[in-house]
Structure 1
Amino acid sequence: MSAHPRVVHNRRQTITALPLYYSGHLLKKSTGEKDFKSYYGELRGESLFLYKDDTQDTYSERLELAQLKSMELDSPYQKKMPTIFTLNLPTEEVHLKMDNADTGEEWRGYILTVVNREIPAKLQLLPGQMIKLGEVLVQENCRNPKLTRPPLPPRPMHLKPQSSQMPSCFLDVTRQEAEKMLEANPENGSIILRPSAMPKNYALTLRQKTSRGPVLKNYRVTSTKSGFVIELETPVTVPSLNDVLKFFLEKTEYRLCPYVDSQPYDTHILPSSAPECVSIPSPSSVAPPKAQVAPLLRSQTKEKLPPPPHKPDEGEYVVPDDSLDHNRKLAQLGNELRKALKTRRENIYSESGQDEADAYENEADRRASWTVQCGGPKA
């Protein structure tokens, strides 16, 4: 006879004191296993306990979810269809399968809320279920508060990562948006690197031409401490996102190219502004400098004015000073001329050896003969 569920629950609490957040039936398969095995799972704290059935007292397996890297949904959400998740743990990959899509959505909500300490943005749950998630989040933060560290100081410029480390085709879009962009604008490129639905991970969407027409494909890129893992049949690890893009380009023999948004071309040319010329002011516009002379007081100007000139009476004759000086100079000049002529005449007579009287007579005879030849003296 099986024990009562309450009894089983009390026994499990004696094994671990972790609070129970969610429980239910699920299927589990590890890497290397072909078939899923049925378990009864309990999410206690950040650990997932797996029991063979709901009556087992001790767990068969325990998965530590505190180091969970990602939780990927292998199939889209569809009601009345099984849901399969892939849990990427440091040591292995675990696949969980739920027969009901609604149950799978609840498992995903509780696991991500406990591990990431926040409720996922996109959950297809009812309002009452969202309220329970909020209560679980408060309880887990009180039970195991995360240590908050002070912000690090700014890194020096030479240590900051360069923008070239992110490929040019990285766009912050969803899977549906990336597929629409590749279908609507195939001339812009065929590869888009985008964020994954899981935090801190990436995904790659590409559009590849085949004989049956264009095909859209999506690949997961998991971020790990050792690099970025491209989730293929045989996983490939590369050191950077640029190497992720390079890997796909080489595998497709460069028939694909990164997606780059086309920039619109301008059809107008704006006239350039005229160069600034040096303005030279015209001479008329330059104001003359002002004389820096102290103003004179009226009392001082009256004292320094010269006396008015003497006005002669009506009957008084006034000889101007200029006329007296002029006559004096003329008289002096006449005396000097007479002396110069007399000296010259004496020199001439002494050189010719004649007396002044003889010279005068000769001069008179010469003038008389010249007068007779000319017809007498003029009237």
Structure 2
Amino acid sequence: MNRRQGRPFSMMPHCYYEGYLEKRSFKDKKSRRLWTCLCGNRLYFFNDKRDTDYIEKMDLTGPITITDDNTVDCNLDAAKLNLQTKDSDIKFSAPNAEARELWKGFIQSVSELSVPSMLNLLPGQMLMLEEVVKKEKERLRNVQQSSLSIDVELAKEMPDCFHPVSRTEAELLLERQFTRGNLLLRPNRNGTGFAVSTREEMNGPIFKHYLVSRKQDNSFTIEVDTPVACASLHDVVVYFSEATEGALMPLAREETYEQNISYIGLDNENGEKMVRGASMHLTLPTQQPKPALPSEDREENVYMNNSQPESKTAEKSQKTPTPAPRKFPPPPSPAAANRSTHTTEPRCKTHLDNHGQTISELRLRFEKKAKCAD
């Protein structure tokens, strides 16, 4: 590939492939031989390979269709192809069939971000396409990151007429708010820079859009026939206003807030809609008391509050959803009392029976009755 000196590569993505192509659209009467460069996902056309300024460009984003054109040409070696995008339908003529296959491969690779399989190319040429796909994916990733994270310093210095809207939304906004201004600054479609949208009246509304690119030193350039360099976005807005003698005025953002709460309601007398003020004397609901526990849960809580065992582990192990009244075993027989050599004191000595006596007192009474029986 021939490299040229003086081409402003900083204004265009990396060049993947280039060469002469004969270009003809449906509105052209004859084809033109142009030096064509595939930079990023766009085709740039130059009158000559030594030129530094392109005359046309074609966007390859979105679905495209590229097919061979087998019609006979006066140049028997030429190989034709048809390229159809969402915006245009162009006929190209490559110098030969090999060049046509390479153009098809490069165009489809950057558009679809994958190497096409149905191509008649050598293994080395297929490796070239794989490398181009990697570079284009990396470029798009960097573009997306830069568009999503605008520098904090740059965001603070945004003019008041900056609106984060698309081209169509900008036209609608200028149409609705034409009394407040007719110029706004917005992000461009690719997210790599900005654009200025304007609206003027001449037998109807006229909308225009200007590209504003950002340079590596954070300066800006208005991309017109004679590019205009500006130090900041504020200078871009000022230049448009001063260069047009005040005909273009920035549309500032409005961030007003209502001071009173109102709503649209019906009039009680005639039933017509009217603006009504919200009642400002309402009392906010206080915290509601906790609902009362069911009877079973209350009995359980009373029982648990009255009983204070020494060991919490025993209390957890013996806890039941609905405790039954305590029942004491019948007095042991004399034989069982004689065989019993070990008496176990109850863990809880604070529980009272129905007569208000402790368990230990009852046990002593049972032992005395057993001795009397003997």
Give the structure with the higher percent helix. 1
Larger radius of gyration: 1
TM over 0.5: no
